[in-house]
Structure 1
């Protein structure tokens, strides 16, 4: 294969040198050809990946992505850079990249967040996947300290809203929830509403809660099938069950944080929502809790009294009842079969979600 030959690998340093030049001194067509060359050679050769890394390819690519921010005329270059970046992080561990290029990684996050906000094609989802890979896989405390551009979190919120407002594949919507949960974990639940235009400051919150409700309904139904109907103890069932549990934990976490956000309404004399928004949120939460209660009722009927999924389900109901003690009161008492509504499940001492 010519692309993986030693001759091609030996040209990587030269291509990187040209690729690092400013677009004012090198025609964009030449920069595109350099990027395409790098992508083809690195795809074909593990040695090429190592040489790219050795000759500061991560730094050069990060700076190129930053230069492309807000430049919608270079869509082909953006496309190739994102694909090249995706290739790199699939071959080199993010732990290593963070250790060697923490500052450059922060540049990449800021640049990708911007592209995630403004792109209106399939590259938006590529940016989403890379952002999730980076944010979910590294030490965020160190990364956030190096981020110089405070607008990156706003850009991610804009991108999330854009996807959830449109008809996209269920898998992509789940990826959006994973990203939203990561952002809330970093910045707190206020991130769902802070920094947006006043007329739409509840849009992200409402969309995330709605999608979380949908995911919880679908995932709990899938979990029930895997537990009570699917062939047991097969590798496929075990892997599917583990994946569904991880995914539902993301949606549960978001719902819990939204419950916490709502519980703070009116504190310090600040009303975060108008009455209409609050009503929508409560209706969504009531529907979500009803679905979770049905899942627990199903577990009770099947004699299931153990499991992290049951623990997490009880916890989210408890979080809601702490704020609305009369909500679903009769269903909860019937489910638990106890006047004092004490839980009779055998659960782990660790009360974290999953």
Structure 2
């Protein structure tokens, strides 16, 4: 059979310096394998090598989020279908051995069978920028925590003359005080050295705080430009929104169903029944950071969202535990977020209700008393600072009947 009529599948085992490529036919026949440098010229040679065998149906690539990220971008740019494949499990490696050619052929066979494969993240847009910024933010947050911990640790064993200055101080006060001090004297004296070190640590803390403020501003701008409506959902802020966007990637359409999204963010219910006990638990797989973000949203709604409070109260009366209630909330939140990611819809125009209330000469206090909420809460809602679609409908119905 002529090569240009052959249909082939490629598999690539990626590393930091080299990539090993294997090519098989659509019937599973091993055709060839070769190693290439993980550089721009190497990527071009990989494309030439794979396409020289015939029509390329798919390319299975290991590690599209790490060593294979740039290669996946290049292959996609050439119009080739790239699939992310899981690394061979230990049982497979015990039976078949371990080498770069074997791993590359296994990746090709996985792409041919369609087992253990998924569409990789695009990593070419605003979400990739968010991922990089969040990575920087994570290290800055840990560094700031380390600084405050070290300051408190040093003060524990510091001379009493120095400890007495900061006794009773907490929070930012214990950071601001050393920064304003003017230590000096012989470095051989532990008192002087400790005071100097505390001042330097306090300056480091302030620098990290300023860096974090800048990072948060940049992150807020990225979320506003890419998915501003996501933060319209109750309890979703910049931090949680950016994490969920990073988990999904620049191409959310790769997650084809809401159930797949629930599995991705580790809120898919899994049967955990035994004997007379019938129950479910949440999946422990998926992105743990995305699960943490959804957990935070659930806690926020449980504390300040009237509809969620009503739901929690109803579930408690049914005998549900707090863990079970939060599990149910997470599943609902995941469903809501998925719908907003794939089909974003703006919040209802609460400003129209404010105009209607004013036209009917109804004071803010009267409306708040009737609806059983604080006037300040109602004011924020009318100005579009908070979103609650359920309350919008209730408020609208009340105004139209008065």
TM-score, normalised relative to structure 1: 0.29
Larger proportion of helix: 1
Larger proportion of strand: 2
TM-score, normalised relative to structure 2: 0.27
